Chain A
Amino acid sequence: MVRRTLLIAALLIVALPTAAADRFITVASTTSTQDSGLFGHILPLFRAKTGIEVRVVALGTGQAIKLAERGDADVLLVHHKPSEEKFVADGFGVKRLDVMYNDFVLIGPTADPAGIKNGRDIAAALAKIAATKAPFASRGDNSGTHLAELDLWKAAGIDAKAASTGWYRSLGSGMGPTLNTAAGMNAHVVSDRATWANFKNRQGLTILVEGDTRLFNQYGVVPVNPARHAHVKARDGQAFVDWLITPGGQAAIATYKIGGEQLFFPNAKKESS
């Protein structure tokens, strides 16, 4: 009797249906959009309007693109324009559209060992970090933020990789884990503003440099090409892309705030290029 009850209980749990809608699309996106809570804010609005559930797989930009190339997503929403354009040029995407932007910030210890606080020149700040050999934590995961960081080092004229056994530490992890590690070793780190704003384990870290135009962070959206992968849900995917760039979708992005601070700024063009 006991055994039968147990068996039935086990079967019930195993056979439980998932609360899944039949109409859904899969979006490969970045950890910044998920960890910041943006998707939690805008996706219910989209679903209420269209009945389409959006399932987000949050990865680094490089990994998200690889996933979409294999046909495991219907839409790509990431933040590294050259990679997105290559994705389209290679025939994996239909076309790339601007959606929104925010900016990167240079985070570092409040004690400011490199003397860069309140600076506006990101290249000069990085050069000082290198000169003082102050610890720096890099994503090192081929994500949009990592690629942007590498461009900034290039702008500063510094071969950071050469110092990867010393003050420059390549972590190979997502934005959140990198911030956790940076907080632990009191290191400098380049982060997108949204993840930082939503990040709770700051310890002794604060924003040291912001506002340089080179810290601009553009997000783009690309529907995956159904000609490449026949199973791609092209129509529903396109519906999501279309909604993102409509006034309604753009307003949804603009109204997402943490502590009164707007984190993403919609900038879709009326006529896409």
Chain B
Amino acid sequence: MSDLTAAFASALVFGLDADLGRIVLLSLRVSLSAVAIAAIIGLPLGAALAVFRFPGRRAIVIAVNAMMGLPPVVVGLIVYLLLSRAGPFGVFGLLFTPTAMIIAQAILIAPLIAALARQLVEDMWAEYEEQLRSLGAGAGRALWTLLWDGRFSLLTVVLAGFGRAIAEVGAVMIVGGNIDQVTRVMTTAIALETSKGDLALALGLGIILIALALAINATAFSINLVLRERQG
């Protein structure tokens, strides 16, 4: 129990720390960027899989669903090998930068967003296909209509992606290197403090991370509510 008390104490103390502020901002920057990229790729992809019928579609749906479970550490390793100086994209010097971390997290969560969006849009398509077709909309046109009409539900899909990104440690540790003041984010800082055996501080950081996720979700939820009401 004393561990938990100490954790809350350090959460309070370090909540005011400048270093911590930087770590929190970097966490947000990396994960929000990753989620934005993953949504731009994943939402249309998921919707396309929902409305278009083509050979091999089922196999792709299964593959995308399976990739929801991509192990972060494997994604990290692959991105590391790609961005390493000895790898194909080594010339860009992206390894151990926030950009590398964004790339890894975007790869990690794009399938999650695509798979969940596919399911959601497919259900809507089943319901509205006849109606949309009678209005003269083909599948291509319907795709964007459905994405727009489903935007409030799709926000939850995007939040699920954000949740996976902000909580992930395996990939950012490998491609970011957990460099002090450069690529250290909340999760890698927690891993580091755990390594040092400073469990109270590690747990304190964990409490801040959870609070952060809570705040983001609460904000998204409120905005969603306001927009929905305005729409009537």
Q: Which of A3, A35, A176 has the most CB of B within 10 A?
A: A176
A180 touching B194, Cβ below 8 Å: yes
State in angstroms the CA–CA spacing of A57 and B184 once bound together: 11
Q: How large is the interface on B (under 10, 10 to 19, 20 to 34, 35 or more residues)?
A: 35 or more
The one of A16, A34, A201, A231 in contact with B85, judged by C-beta atoms closer than 8 angstroms, is A231
Given A18-B98, A176-B195, A177-B195; A56-B179 close (CB under 8 Å): yes
The one of A13, A39, A199 in contact with B32, judged by C-beta atoms closer than 8 angstroms, is A13
Known contacts: A55-B96, A176-B195, A200-B196. The answer to whether A14 contacts B181 by CB under 8 A is no
Decide if A179 touches B197 in the complex (CB within 8 Å): yes
Q: Does B180 contact A (CB under 8 A)?
A: yes
Interface of A is mostly: mixed
Near B by CB (< 8 A), chain A positions 52-81 give: 55-58, 70-72
* Listed stretches B21-29, B48-56, B104-112, B129-137; interface member: B21-29
A199 close to B196 (CB less than 8 A): yes
In the complex, which residues of chain A have a beta carbon less than 8 angstroms from the beta carbon of B90? 71
In the bound complex, residues from chain B placing their C-beta under 8 Å from that of A231 are 85, 91, 93
Interface residues on A, range: 35 or more
In the complex, chain A residues whose CB is within 8 Å of the CB of B98: 18
Q: What residues of A have a CB within 8 angstroms of the CB of B194 in the complex?
A: 176-177, 180
Q: Does B187 contact A (CB under 8 A)?
A: no
Q: Does A128 contact B (CB under 8 A)?
A: no
Contact A57 B199 (CB under 8 A): no
Query: A72–B192 Cα gap in the complex (Å)?
Result: 21
B226 touching A57 by the CB < 8 A rule?
no
Chain A residues, Cβ within 8 Å of B196: 35, 176, 198-200
When chains A and B are docked, how far (Å) is the Cα of A56 from the Cα of B178?
8
Indicate if the CB atoms of A19 and B22 lie closer than 8 Å.
yes
- Are the CB atoms of B84 and A71 closer together than 8 Å? yes
Contact string, A188-220, partner B, CB cutoff 8 A, digits 1/0?
A: 000000000011111000000000000000000
B70 at interface (Cβ–Cβ under 8 A)?
Answer: no
Cα A26 to Cα B178 with chains together (Å): 12
Does B86 lie within 8 Å of A2, measured CB to CB? no
Q: From residue 21 to 63 of chain B, which have CB atoms closer than 8 A to chain A?
A: 22, 25-26, 28-29, 32-33, 36
For chain A, residues 148 to 206, give those with C-beta under 8 angstroms from any C-beta of chain B: 174-177, 179-180, 183, 198-202
The answer to the question of B95 belonging to the interface, with a C-beta cut-off of 8 Å to chain A, is yes
Cβ contacts under 8 Å, A201 to chain B: 197-199
Contact for B223 among A6, A19, A175, A179, CB less than 8 A: A6
Q: Assuming A6-B223, A14-B29, what are 19 further A-B pairs, CB within 8 angstroms?
A: A3-B227, A10-B36, A14-B33, A16-B25, A18-B26, A35-B192, A35-B196, A55-B96, A55-B177, A57-B96, A71-B90, A174-B195, A176-B197, A177-B195, A179-B197, A180-B194, A183-B197, A200-B196, A201-B197
Can you list 18 A-B pairs with a CB-CB distance of less than 8 A?
Answer: A2-B226, A13-B25, A13-B29, A16-B25, A18-B97, A26-B179, A31-B195, A55-B179, A56-B180, A57-B179, A58-B178, A174-B195, A175-B195, A180-B194, A199-B197, A200-B197, A200-B199, A202-B197
B residues within 8 Å of A by Cβ? 22, 25-26, 28-29, 32-33, 36, 84-87, 90-91, 93, 95-98, 177-182, 192, 194-199, 223, 226-227
